[in-house]
A = this chain, B = another copy of it.
Amino acid sequence: MVKRGSGSGVGEGPNMQAFVKAERGPGGEIRTVPEPRPAEDEVRVALRASSICGTDVHIWEWNAWAESRIGRTPMIFGHELSGEVVEVGRRVTTLAVGDHVSAETHIADGTCYQCRNGKMHICANVQVLGVDRDGVFAEYSVLPAVNAWRNDPKLDPALAAIQEPLGNAVHALLPEDNIEDLAGRDVLVTGAGPIGLLAIAVARTLGARRVFATEVNPLRIALAKRMGADRVIDPRGEEGAAVKTILEETEGRGVDVVVEMSGHPSALTLGFEALTPGGRVSLLGLFDRPATLDVDASLIFKAARVHGIFGRRMFTTWFQVRGLLEKPEFRAKMGEIITHRVPIHDLPKAMELIESQQAAKVSLEPRW
């Protein structure tokens, strides 16, 4: 039986199919489990589409992070969601059965220091869907009503589900209220994995001048160009060549904004070297181990500003994402990032596609 996180009532109702991390080790399996029931301020959502995040891959592979972070198994994982509300808790007034929704996957307590200072996205007591409580790789899932984001019913469910990582990309590019330096400015995205690709498309749509990317995988290089990167550089070339190229194409100045999406220490170094003095760097890709940095040259003499990026501003980025998705050209790009659409029963195969970097974003359809 699947244990659910605090706050979710458990019902004695009918059963459903769900992808479950059954054991504390690699892999996962489809199981028949009880349908969840919403608490009084929650909604129950029927899955229309999901997609696979790097976090899901870590849980699937059961890396060191998963071992230390996941509290209990069996657990339903997955968190990128497009669904239809099928049941609402007694106190829910803002949603109705039939609404199409996506999920903000960070469940904030609303009362900690961070929440009370406009930073719910880094709530001190955050509960993450599919990590701290049962997720969405299931016929049904429950989430607090306040975390359900209502979608235009006409929006492609696969696109609706990737609004969550798209929010990460937007947040990395616009980390605070006080950022306007994309307009006509130069941007470097290091690492063109799914969120890096999203960031390239967003930077382009928000009026950046030149958008550079670094990437080694041919599929991602091709996609980065289609997202609008002016130049995609393989960073494995001659030492200093990538930075030299970027400096040459920015009149010797360097870029104004770096968005680090790779988690490679060499990308960190490259990013700071390519940054114009007074520029800013957003760090989203996890490094997994301590990194060594020339703080004097990279940060102090450069008067750089660095933003650690975690989650998405709630719910500022959701409005920004919604606005972007209303643009047909932008939607078309999003459709290209979803390189594969597979039935959820093929999740193991989908994981392989991602691990071997044959896929960018993989969308999952609720076929069991």
Contacts and interface: CB of A to CB of B under 8 A. Distances in A.
Interface of A: 94, 110-111, 113-114, 116-119, 121-122, 124, 146, 170, 174-186, 205-209, 251, 253, 268, 276-278, 283-284, 286-288, 290-296, 298-311, 313-316, 318-324, 326
Contacts of A184: 170, 319-324
A319 B206 contact: no
A275 to B, nearest CB: 10
Question: For A175, A185, A298, A319, which residue has the most chain B Cβ atoms within 10 angstroms?
Answer: A319
Given A292-B290, A323-B207, A303 B110 contact: no
21 contacts: A94-B111, A111-B146, A116-B314, A117-B316, A117-B319, A119-B278, A174-B183, A178-B180, A183-B324, A184-B322, A184-B323, A185-B320, A186-B323, A208-B323, A283-B299, A291-B292, A292-B292, A300-B310, A301-B308, A302-B310, A305-B306
A270 to B, nearest CB: 15
Contacts of A111: 94, 146
A177 B178 contact: yes
A318 B111 CA distance: 13
Contacts of A319: 113, 116-117, 184-185
Given A180-B178, A184-B319, A305 B305 contact: yes
Contact of A303 (B122, B314, B321): B122
B293 A290 contact: yes
B295 A291 contact: yes
Contacts of A178: 176-180
Contacts of A209: 322-324, 326
